[in-house]
Amino acid sequence: MKKIKCPQCSGPSLWDESNESRPFCSSRCKLIDLGAWASEEYNIPASPSVDDYDDQPSLDGGITGSPFTSTMH
């Protein structure tokens, strides 16, 4: 049987199909890790930067659909 180090508590974790929480040693460590990731996502101000990115394509579109296109018509 293979044993690895639990990424959460650094304790011994059993790498086996019987361990549904692998690579974590227990479901608790798995939940802690998932919770940590979830809270990190909450802390990152992702939405404002996404909005900023949303404005940039319109700038590109302004250049592509510039007066040149209208003059061609």
Interacting residues toward Zn ion by CB under 5 A: 6, 8-9, 11, 25, 29
Minimum distance from CB of 40 to Zn ion (Å)? 19
Minimum distance from CB of 21 to Zn ion (Å)? 8
Three-class DSSP labels, 26-68: CHHHHHHHHHHHHHHHHHCCHHHHHHHHHHHHHHHHHHHCCHH
- Which residue lies nearer to Zn ion by CB, 31 or 38? 31
Minimum distance from CB of 41 to Zn ion (Å)? 22
* Backbone angles phi and psi of 10, in degrees to 5: 65, 15
